[in-house]
Amino acid sequence: MRVFLPLVLSAGLTLSAGPVATAQAAPQSIGDLLARSETVPLPPRKPAETLPWLADAPANVAAPLQLVPSPTAPAEMPASAPVQAAVPRIAPSVEPSRDHSARKVSAASLTGAEMDAFKAALKAVSDDDMAAADSYKSRISDSVAQAAVEWEIVRKGPGAGGARRAQAFLTRHPGWPSRDTIRNNIEGLLFDSPDDPGRVVAYFKEEPPLSGEGEIAYARALLATGNTSEGMAWLRKAWYTRVFSSGDEKAIINAFSRQLSRKDHLARAEGMLYRERISSAERMAPYLSKGEVALINAASAVIRRKGNAKSALNAVPGDVRNEPAWLFFSVQQERRSDDPVAAARLMTKAPRNPDRLIDTHEWWVERRVLLRQLLDMGQTELAYRMAAEHSSIEDDDIIEAEWHAGWVALSYLKKPRDAMRHFDIMARHSENPISVARAYYWHGRAAAASGSSGQAKQDYARAAEHITTYYGQLAAHELGRNRIDLGRIERSSNAVDALEPLRAATLFEEAGRNDLAMSLIVGMSFYVNDGPSFARLAVRARELGAPHIAVNIAKRGMRAGFNITDEAYPLSVIPGHARNSSGTPPALVYAIARQESEFNSGAVSHAGARGLMQLMPGTAKSVSREVGLSYNQSRLVTDPDYNVALGSAYLAKRLGNFDGSYIMAAAAYNAGKGRVDQWIGQFGDPRTRQIDPIEWVERIPFTETRNYVMRVLENMQVYEARLSRNSAPLNLKADLYKGR
């Protein structure tokens, strides 16, 4: 358990020890909660150099901190009116004004003695001996090598100097990767051992907290400096939504006993239940009324699928049934009892205010599951309401909800104008090329259905700008285009090698620490903002023997709008004879392997799938017998030829199961043949002319499989172009109809 200090005011008083002038009275109603948790704008950030944090503290010296005994937990408050807790939302602050770019340095190598000290320092960090690491670092004169050792120290968790030392590194080396990791370390240290409140506030005004520990530390400092409104907003945000250990929960309750009310503890219990953190929710029971404890028990029964779940929900007292959580778990129970219509009717009573829902993501997931079950039952109006009445606040959830609402409106309710409105909202929230292309393609499809052919062409043109995406390729077909024009491909530039972190990566390589070199290379892909630099980072990863990381970096560059198809869709990662051995189209083998492992020959999934094409050992053994190869499980991750030979044979088998249908074979490769047979029964057979294969793919109920099929088909088109040196036609539409 962490030792957590209570809130210490500048006057030396402790908020959790007794009444003080600035203590926040416990809110007695939802109105109080809402009024005191309004959106709080954060002021513009100051340049890092002006922070008092660094004014009087050397980078390697920690200010002494005195431990103060924590007060006892608060007594349970009497039950009152139904609690309708709200999650405080805090306005995002402006982007940092300071420059986060890394400095350029020369490319000189270390002397023999310095390299020995460098290696020894890194070994000491690995052994958690930070004092020894500092000693070895002092023997190094090279500034980049010194920074590299310090980066590894503060990334792993600084010893002497603690939070101030880590912050000093961030200020002096703003362009180095792993910034969020280091900031999380700082926040954990501030949570455990508070610093001067003014310094802490200045630090978080510069960059708001990333973690629950940081939010608590910030709240404590704000309250200590008299900023009660903003402090309570951050405190409630952390308490309602963040997962803490039982020890940390007790420490927080003790430290903020006069700020956190019974209603706040109920809001935490509900937030944890949405995330199925039953133990965390149950730990709030001592601070709640009997009726509220009954709600926790009922929700727990639903989550655990117990036979008494419905009776437990019915046993919750009437006043507590006004809690959104009671409604949520009642919806879930009805759905799991095979009554989606009853569940949906309950869902229509859900609050629209996202603050009251606490976890809008989980509410959207429940709506999405219900929506698809309702479509299966022909309940299209109710299905539409599940999406259209969402209260999502995160972009990813808004994008999904608005797409589903538009899709149902267009394809099932035949209301293209309503659909266009939803797809327009989706487009406004989309940045990823996959989502942008999807939004504009469907907006174009809705526009065409409404008779607006000119608008449809404009929409298809916007979607087709993202020609490596599934819907971008479909949009190109609508415009009569029959080629994938990959355009000018960004070429690698060595200029990025002059940056401090890339020079450090070279030093790590020379020291035999390719793992640290790779961490820097991957991390730098979040900082660069030009195509040649993305390409160079991908090349560096490939040169280190990690083609999968090269692909991942190149994908990030592609998402940022740069054409790095050479690295994002490599051609040299699959042996030619292996990919051709089964007669399966080579572009399809590449497409599957890219989606399965990003060409990581040593990949092993949590489920046990192995190698380039992610074969389960049992599947590989069965296929090896069928093709006359001896089975060797270890070769699945050590021999790419062997893995691809078996994987392409298995893929050929799935193609044979479905008369050559690419979409059905890809779905079966991901979810199994039995699932695809089931979906044929539910949604029809896309090999027949009565079924639109585009709609069939969208009806796949598993989000992972639905996405998988689209990514494989889009990958295949790009690989057809790459393998043919851009002479192959764009065939996505024809490929969707394969098997007819």
pLDDT in tens, 424-467: 999 999 999 999 999 999 999 999 999 999 999 999 999 999 99
Look at residue 33 and tell me whether its pLDDT is greater than 90: no
Concatenated DSSP letters of 592-608: HHHHHHTT-TT-B-TT-
pLDDT of residue 18: 31
pLDDT of residue 193: 86
pLDDT more than 90, % of the chain: 79
- The rounded distance, in Å, linking the Cα atoms of 289 and 292 is 5
**By mean pLDDT, which of 5-9, 222-226, 331-335 is the weakest?**
5-9
pLDDT of residue 41: 30
Phi-psi region of 575 (alpha: psi -120 to 50; beta: other; left: phi over 0): beta
The answer to whether residues 167 and 151 touch, using CB atoms and an 8 Å cutoff, is no
Average pLDDT over residues 402-418: 99
Enter the CATH code of domain 576-736.
1.10.530.10
Average pLDDT over residues 276-280: 98
Look at residue 40 and tell me whether its pLDDT is greater than 70: no
Could you read off the pLDDT of 677-689 as tens digits, one per residue?
Answer: 999 999 999 999 8
**pTM for the full model?**
0.85
Q: 104: which strand partners?
A: 499
pLDDT of residue 107: 53
**By mean pLDDT, which of 56-60, 476-480, 485-489, 558-562 is the weakest?**
56-60
Could you read off the pLDDT of 569-608 as tens digits, one per residue?
Answer: 999 898 875 556 668 999 999 999 999 999 999 999 999 9
Look at residue 694 and tell me whether its pLDDT is greater than 70: yes
Look at residue 79 and tell me whether its pLDDT is greater than 50: no
pLDDT of residue 161: 65
Nearest to 439 by CA among 468, 400, 493: 400
Among the listed residues 114, 152, 596, 598, the single catalytic one is 596
Could you read off the pLDDT of 497-535 as tens digits, one per residue?
Answer: 999 999 999 999 999 999 999 999 999 999 999 999 999
- The rounded distance, in Å, linking the Cα atoms of 645 and 553 is 27
Question: Which amino acid belongs to residue 333?
Answer: Q
Look at residue 39 and tell me whether its pLDDT is greater than 60: no
* Token duo for residue 141: 């004169």
Nearest to 720 by CA among 465, 466, 471, 473: 473
Could you read off the pLDDT of 349-390 as tens digits, one per residue?
Answer: 999 999 999 999 999 999 999 999 999 999 999 999 999 999
Assign 53 a pLDDT band (cuts: 50, 70, 90): very low
* Token duo for residue 430: 């989309």
pLDDT more than 70, % of the chain: 84
- Name the DSSP letter for residue 490: P
* Token duo for residue 590: 């590449």
pLDDT of residue 160: 57
pLDDT of residue 567: 95
115-123: list long-range contacts, CB under 8 Å, 24+ apart. Answer: 115/510, 115/511, 118/145, 118/148, 118/149, 118/507, 118/511, 119/511, 119/512, 121/149, 122/149, 122/152, 122/508, 122/511, 122/513, 122/516
pLDDT of residue 488: 82
- The rounded distance, in Å, linking the Cα atoms of 648 and 29 is 63
Calculate the alpha carbon distances from 345 to 27, 361, 382, 383 in Å. Answer: 33, 20, 8, 11
Assign 71 a pLDDT band (cuts: 50, 70, 90): very low
Assign 493 a pLDDT band (cuts: 50, 70, 90): confident
If you average pLDDT over every residue of the chain, what do you get?
87
Look at residue 13 and tell me whether its pLDDT is greater than 90: no
Could you read off the pLDDT of 316-343 as tens digits, one per residue?
Answer: 999 999 999 999 999 999 999 999 999 9
- The rounded distance, in Å, linking the Cα atoms of 116 and 713 is 51
- The rounded distance, in Å, linking the Cα atoms of 715 and 473 is 11
The answer to whether residues 344 and 385 touch, using CB atoms and an 8 Å cutoff, is yes
pLDDT of residue 109: 77
* Token duo for residue 88: 């405080």
The answer to whether residues 362 and 354 touch, using CB atoms and an 8 Å cutoff, is no
pLDDT of residue 106: 53
The answer to whether residues 711 and 673 touch, using CB atoms and an 8 Å cutoff, is no
pLDDT of residue 739: 87
How many residues are recorded in the chain?
740
Could you read off the pLDDT of 619-672 as tens digits, one per residue?
Answer: 999 999 999 999 999 999 999 999 999 999 999 999 999 999 999 999 999 999
249 is catalytic: no
Ordered by start, the domain boundaries in the chain are 1-62+160-260, 263-393, 494-568, 576-736
Q: How far is the first Cα of the chain from the last one, in angstroms, to the nearest whole number?
A: 63
